[in-house]
Amino acid sequence: MKSPKVLILSAPGTNCAVETSNAFAELGAKPEIVSLRLFKEKRVRLLDYDIFILPGGFSYGDEISAGRILAAQVKIHIADIKNFIRMGRPVIGICNGFQVLVKAGILPFSPSCEQSASFVANDSGRFEDRWVHLRINTQNPSLFFKGLPEMIELPVAHGEGKLVLRSPKQLEDLKRNRSIAMQYVSDDGKIAPYPANPNGSVFNIAALTNPDGNCLGMMPHPERYTKIHHHPNWTRQTFQKQAFGMAILKNAVDYCRG
Amino acid sequence: MTEKIENPTLPVQVLSDFNSLGIKELKNLSAQNLWSLNEKEILAVQAYFRSLKRNPTRAEIETVAQSWSEHCRHKTFKSPIRYQEGSKTVLIKNLFEETIARATRQTKKPWCLSVFKDNAGIVSFGKKGQWALAFKVETHNHPCAIEPKGGAETGLGGVIRDVLAAGLGAKPVLSTDIFCVAPPDKKLSLPPKALSPERILRGLIAGVRDYGNRMGIPTAAGGLYFDEGYALNPLVFVGSVGVLPAKAVKKEIRPGDLIVVAGGLTGKDGLHGATFSSANLNGDDHSTAVQIGHPLNEKRVMEALLNARDKKLYHSVTDCGAGGLSSAITEMADIVGARVQLEKESLKASDMEPWEIWVSESQERMVFAVPPSNLKAFEKVFADEGVESRVVGEFVKTGRIEVLWNGRPLINLSLKFISNGIPVEEKKAVYIPPKGNESRALPKKSLAENLKNILSHLNVCSREWLIRQYDHEVQGGTVIKPLQGTRHDGPGDASVIWPQAATKDVSDLSGFAVGHGLNPASGKLDPYQMAWLCADEALRNILCVGADISRAAFLDNFCWGNPENPQVLGSLVKAAMGCRDASLGFQIPFISGKDSLYNESKDASGKMVSIPGTLLISAIAPVPNIEKAVTMDMKGPGNSLYLVGQTGEDMGGSLYHEINGLAGGAVPRVDARCARRNFAAVYQAMSKGLVASAHDLSEGGLLTAVAEMAFSGEFGAMIDLDALPKQKPIYSAEVLLFSETPSRILLEVKPEHEAAFLKCVKGSCVKRVGSSIANPIIKIIGLDGLVLFEESTAPFKAAWQRTVLS
């Protein structure tokens, strides 16, 4: 497959669809920003696409709570999404998209798709935009981190990014089935409190996958680091040579190309 | 969404004895109804209706009042002023025409695509000029004093709609905000209903944050300014930059086009916002004059509008801001004419009088001129985004504005009367220069102590606590961030935006930068020089990140007190003259502007207090290749530091004076010829990649700039005061280190680039004054060749990194 088709879901309040689409186009994929309405009207079939993206933003104004309303809408199409994931096709929920995946019960993964975790307001009590250091879990089977170093940087920008789990046991389960994809760390790679952990997430979790590693939910924004000039320190020229956000998206495209 | 309700059928209200009222009764009527029409104006209205031999409807007077309001008409800037300075008196026929507009005409810049006419100024943009940038900054002061959060939300929402309605519609790619408030840490005695500065500031931030973040538009390039003079009248400047195709700049209404309103429903929110802006705040309740914003609705309107624009479904668009449908439709009808069936407007409140529907300022509405053949397609685009659109009338070639309410005449006015009927009133202005008191001897605080006090001053210290609350990276185009340096926390001079989300073309590396100049402290001493200083600072800010300032454009925003006071008006005139001369001096046109007057209130003792005359000059310029942009953090040891521009004894209005309780001294003057030459050389060097870092010298002068560059880059610096280029011999180290002479920039140049750099700056005033060092210390060599100052940067960074509001 030369140009994988990418479905970028848009709903009222979705903000990051265009830059995500630009990134996929630059990678040679065929991105389409598809309104949720077309789904509802059955004019679009998810299974006609190779990659499924839930982009960032404030879907439905994040009323009730972040991603809650869109999650309920997405849930209507849960059978299609489950199929899509089961077929091994890449899914990425970014920021608000991750919140939607969690509130729709798609992550943390369970066969019944029952919601088992949630997001609450950042410990700081407010919206924050900052670049964070992330450690990729090398045990995670995911297809998204091939060729990336263990430590990367990406920006986060959210007000409700603190991941909370149902129980300590659930955390142990996530560790055991290697579903934790990325953790917030300090610049020397240690698990550290705020501001290294920008929101207070349990176990500094920044990203999760399903156990098969093809469905990724992440709070940081890969589409905001698609060019080295996105990095806050590119003028210092002392940092990594690769735009890590683009590398993550490229892995999804390369995976589809086989 | 809000539920739509059936239209009521309240009768048309005719003011049946209006034509027979005496002047006293007319004035009372104007005051009661918040029309803000003065004596001459209401008499002109009466004369008009007497000539028609009929009494007006309430809706007709409301229409005239909205259209003649200070907000819509800028009466002060456009009516004759008899201006006196010293023994000389001159008659200024039209202040705006004779200052700002004239300068713009004289600069003759072909890349200015639309100036002063549209909802925003528009300049050419992009690798091949196929794009255009629309830029608008306006104030939203009066509503924010009463309801800071709601005011800031609707202010930002309004200026975003201005950009959406610039040309055939621009996609907003950057929001910017500047707040002038009283220091939150000072005990002030305030009158009963006034809000505390802290509450105002928290509200303003929350408003911009919640609205801007939800709109998916990065908020960067902002500012905060603290002065006790804003305790009762905070100033709120909100701005928006949008990108549109160059082909979509022109808009034109054709008779037969349908008048279509799209967006939120109309309710009772925001009655009299336009006329309210002509009133001073005196503790009365004006709560219906403030509107409530809803970003999700505006975002839906934005998406639908941009989609309809690309499908070329309409001929013209304007936003429904102050004055509601009344202003929007009257403005659009302009020389054509309009016929409206007002009952077709969709409502969200049940008890609305027809005149209320006509002037309501309910948010998130736009008015379009749609050719009938496109109506179906237009309605579908909006319905697909969940936005209601409704046809409320058509544009007709009558030269009149005719509004029917359920078949009965509600308004029938000639557009000529609305646009030209306003009586011209000559205003008086007197300029009395403030008495310059002698500067006292400089106190002997240590240099370190002074530097710490400056860095921790409210107007200098870090705004990280604020900047991080705004999503400044959405749309993936913020390639130079507001916070810069090794730890992403240094004070950048400006942000650079690469609007890939608007152009959808990642191969075009064109970006742009926005900067602001605001200096009320100097305005208190000399409003004319203030304008020059603002222009100079705005330019240097964007130059420091690598913008091509030969392509810069200015925006002005004047916030003053009551222009009926000749002295207040005198200082305003003086500032406008400064704008004209700065524009001509730098050869940079103004493309858009706004004014907000009557910023005065009664204080706790009942005395009327006015804000300090405040001018904001905003600059925008392209960064032709974003990969050549520059930041302010020091990049490494062993690099040369070059100072651009000569240092003079410019302590008047300086921060050094303020923190030491000193007054007097002259406000610095800008030498435009010299500055232009220097800036051009600096840009040339930057575009060749020869400048490692650049930072402008502003509040706190040289020592402050050096410290900021050093601690942001985590290196040190050594400066030799003897090497400083000086206007005349200066023997005081304090003056050399803290003087605020304008037009100066500190540059860092790597040794391998030094020869090429020196070639670029040949013939301009750029001198090597020191070098960067590995050790994070600041070392100053005094005029006597001895070490005058040697301190670690860490405590200075700590002083600078205070959080104003946690």
Give the residue with greater pLDDT, A84 vs B264. Answer: A84
A232/B299 CB distance under 8 A: no
B296 inside 8 A of chain A by CB: yes
Sort out which chain A residues have CB atoms less than 8 A from B208's CB and list them: none
Q: Which residues on neighbouring strands pair with residue A218, listed in sequence order?
A: A94, A207
Cα dist from A190 to A130, A161, B733, whole Å: 18, 20, 46
Query: What b/e readout covers B598-607, taking b as 16+ CB neighbours within 10 angstroms?
Result: bbbbbbeeee
B629, B492 Cβ separation under 8 angstroms: no
Nearest CA to B162 out of B172, B174, B152 is that of B172
- B198 token code pair: 């802290």
Kindly report, residue by residue over B216-257, the tens digit of the pLDDT. Answer: 999 997 899 999 999 999 999 999 999 999 999 999 999 999
B384 → chain A, closest CA residue = A37
Q: Provide, rounded to the nearest whole percent, the portion of chain A with pLDDT above 70.
A: 98
Query: How many Cα atoms sit within 13 Å of B565 on the Cβ side?
Result: 16
Q: Torsions phi, psi of B524, nearest 5?
A: -65, -30
Nearest CA to A146 out of A187, A181, A106, A189 is that of A181
Sort out which chain A residues have CB atoms less than 8 A from B504's CB and list them: 18, 21-22
Average pLDDT in the B439-466 region?
89
A220 inside 8 A of chain B by CB: no
Which residues neighbour B529 within 8 Å (Cβ) at sequence distance 6 or greater? B522, B578, B667, B668, B669, B670
pLDDT at B437: 62
Q: CA–CA separation, B679 vs B697, rounded Å?
A: 14
B214 inside 8 A of chain A by CB: yes
pLDDT at B51: 95
B636 → chain A, closest CA residue = A236
Angle at B443 between CA B437 and CA B447, to 5 degrees: 125
Average pLDDT, chain B: 93
Average pLDDT in the B162-189 region?
94
A189 inside 8 A of chain B by CB: no
Sort out which chain A residues have CB atoms less than 8 A from B474's CB and list them: 15-16, 56, 157, 224
Length of chain B: 806
pLDDT at B152: 95
Q: Are strands A51-54 and A5-10 parallel, antiparallel or unpaired?
A: parallel
pLDDT at B351: 83
Kindly report, residue by residue over B391-447, the tens digit of the pLDDT. Answer: 999 999 999 999 999 999 999 999 999 988 999 889 999 999 887 666 566 677 999
- B116 token code pair: 């002063």
Q: CA–CA separation, B203 vs B151, rounded Å?
A: 9
B635/A235 CB distance under 8 A: yes
Angle at A69 between CA A195 and CA B211, to 5 degrees: 55
User: Is omega for the bond preceding A141 within 30 degrees of 0, making it cis?
Assistant: no
pLDDT of A10 above 60: yes
Residue by residue, what is the 3-state secondary structure of B51-118? HHCCCCEHHHHHHHHHHCCHHHHCHHHHCCEEEEECCEEEEECCHHHHHHHHHHHHHCCCCEEECCCC
Q: Which residues on neighbouring strands pair with residue B136, listed in sequence order?
A: B240
Question: Which of A8, A10, A33, A129 to mutate: most B Cβ within 10 Å?
Answer: A129
Min mean pLDDT across A131-140, B291-300, B330-339 is at B291-300
Cα B769 from chain centroid?
Answer: 36
A164, A119 Cβ separation under 8 angstroms: yes
Q: How many CB atoms lie within 10 A of CB B94?
A: 15
Q: CA–CA separation, B329 vs B802, rounded Å?
A: 49
pLDDT at B72: 79
Indicate the burial class of A14 (C-beta count within 10 angstroms; 0-12, 13-18, 19 or more).
Answer: buried
Q: pLDDT category, B280, cuts 50, 70, 90?
A: low
A236/B633 CB distance under 8 A: yes
Average pLDDT in the B46-57 region?
95
Q: Provide, rounded to the nearest whole percent, the portion of chain A with pLDDT above 90.
A: 91
Determine which helix (DSSP H) or strand (DSSP E) holds B375, and give its type and residue range.
helix B375-384
C-alpha Rg value of chain A to the nearest Å: 17
Sort out which chain B residues have CB atoms less than 8 A from A157's CB and list them: 213, 471, 473-474
The three-state secondary structure class of B259 is: strand
B502 → chain A, closest CA residue = A18
Which residues neighbour B510 within 8 Å (Cβ) at sequence distance 6 or greater? B125, B126, B127, B131, B498, B622, B623, B624, B625, B626
User: Is omega for the bond preceding A108 within 30 degrees of 0, making it cis?
Assistant: yes
Q: pLDDT category, B653, cuts 50, 70, 90?
A: confident
Which residues neighbour A176 within 8 Å (Cβ) at sequence distance 6 or greater? none
Q: CA–CA separation, B403 vs B391, rounded Å?
A: 13
Question: Which of B2, B160, B205, B296 to mutate: most A Cβ within 10 Å?
Answer: B296
Nearest CA to B455 out of B121, B698, B229 is that of B698
Kindly report, residue by residue over B103-114, the tens digit of the pLDDT. Answer: 999 999 999 999
Give the gap in angstroms from C-alpha B394 to the nearest C-alpha of chain A.
31
Q: Which residues on neighbouring strands pair with residue B14, listed in sequence order?
A: B57
Provide the terminal-to-terminal Cα distance of chain A, rounded to the nearest Å: 7
pLDDT of B283 above 50: no
CB-nearest to A12 from B296, B478, B481 is: B296
B691 → chain A, closest CA residue = A235
pLDDT at B190: 87
Q: Does A256 participate in catalysis according to the annotation?
A: no
B488 → chain A, closest CA residue = A232
Give the gap in angstroms from C-alpha A212 to the nearest C-alpha of chain B.
30
Q: CA–CA separation, A69 vs A100, rounded Å?
A: 8
A39 inside 8 A of chain B by CB: no
pLDDT at B291: 60
Q: pLDDT category, B101, cuts 50, 70, 90?
A: very high
B625 inside 8 A of chain A by CB: no
pLDDT at B307: 97
Q: Which of A215, A223, A230, A256 is catalytic?
A: A223
Q: How many CB atoms lie within 10 A of CB A26?
A: 17
Give the gap in angstroms from C-alpha B481 to the nearest C-alpha of chain A.
6
A129/B471 CB distance under 8 A: yes
pLDDT at A66: 92
Determine which helix (DSSP H) or strand (DSSP E) holds B331, and give its type and residue range.
helix B324-333
pLDDT of B278 above 60: no
pLDDT at B406: 92
Cα B703 from chain centroid?
Answer: 29
pLDDT of B286 above 50: no
Q: Torsions phi, psi of B335, nearest 5?
A: -95, -5
pLDDT at B273: 59
Q: Does A19 participate in catalysis according to the annotation?
A: no
B534, B593 Cβ separation under 8 angstroms: no
Q: pLDDT category, B263, cuts 50, 70, 90?
A: very high
pLDDT of B3 above 70: no
A12 inside 8 A of chain B by CB: yes
Give the gap in angstroms from C-alpha B242 to the nearest C-alpha of chain A.
15
Q: How many CB atoms lie within 10 A of CB A218?
A: 26
Sort out which chain A residues have CB atoms less than 8 A from B467's CB and list them: 129
Provide the terminal-to-terminal Cα distance of chain B, rounded to the nearest Å: 34
B480 → chain A, closest CA residue = A232
B147, B285 Cβ separation under 8 angstroms: no
The three-state secondary structure class of B621 is: strand
Sort out which chain A residues have CB atoms less than 8 A from B300's CB and list them: 12
Q: Which amino acid is at A124?
A: S
B216/A224 CB distance under 8 A: no
A129 inside 8 A of chain B by CB: yes
Average pLDDT in the B24-40 region?
91
With a CB-CB cutoff of 8 Å, which residues 470-509 of chain B face chain A? 470-481, 483-486, 488, 498, 500-501, 504, 506
Q: Which residues on neighbouring strands pair with residue B693, listed in sequence order?
A: B631, B748
Q: CA–CA separation, B403 vs B414, rounded Å?
A: 12
- B598 token code pair: 């009557």
pLDDT of B88 above 90: yes
The interface predicted TM-score (ipTM) is 0.96
Kindly report, residue by residue over B602-632, the tens digit of the pLDDT. Answer: 998 999 999 999 999 999 999 999 999 999 9
The strand order across the sheet containing B408-414 reads B316-319, B365-370, B258-263, B389-395, B338-341, B400-405, B408-414
Q: Which residues on neighbouring strands pair with residue B133, listed in sequence order?
A: B123, B243
Sort out which chain B residues have CB atoms less than 8 A from A25's CB and list them: 506
A128 inside 8 A of chain B by CB: yes
CB-nearest to A58 from B213, B501, B629 is: B213
Average pLDDT in the A47-74 region?
94
